[in-house]
Amino acid sequence: MNIILFEPQIPQNTGNIVRTCAVTGAKLFLVRPLGFNITNRWLKRAGLDYWEGVKVNFIDDLKSFLQNTSSRFFFFSAHATNRYCDVTYEKDDFLIFGSETKGLPKEFWDLWPDHFYMIPKRNGTRCLNLANAASIVLYEAWRQQGFAVI
Q: How many helices (H) and strands (E) does the chain have?
A: 5, 6
Digit-coded pLDDT (tens) for 9-55? 998 899 899 999 999 999 999 999 999 877 756 656 655 566 777 88
Residue of 104, 77, 103, 71 whose CA lies nearest to 89: 71
User: In angstroms, rounded to a whole number, what is the distance separating the alpha carbons of residues 4 and 98?
Assistant: 9
Taking the model in full, what pTM does it have?
A: 0.93
Sign of the torsion angle spanned by Cα atoms 110, 140, 137, 89: negative
Q: Identify the pLDDT of residue 56.
A: 87
Tens-place pLDDT, residues 74-101: 999 999 999 999 999 999 999 999 999 9
Q: Which domains does the chain have, with CATH numbers?
A: 2-144 (3.40.1280.10)
Which residues are CB-contacts of 50 (< 8 A; sequence separation ≥ 6)?
18, 19, 21, 22, 23
Cβ(18)–Cβ(38) below 8 Å: no
Report the Cα 52 to chain-centroid distance in Å.
Answer: 19
What is residue 45's predicted lDDT score, i.e. its pLDDT? 62
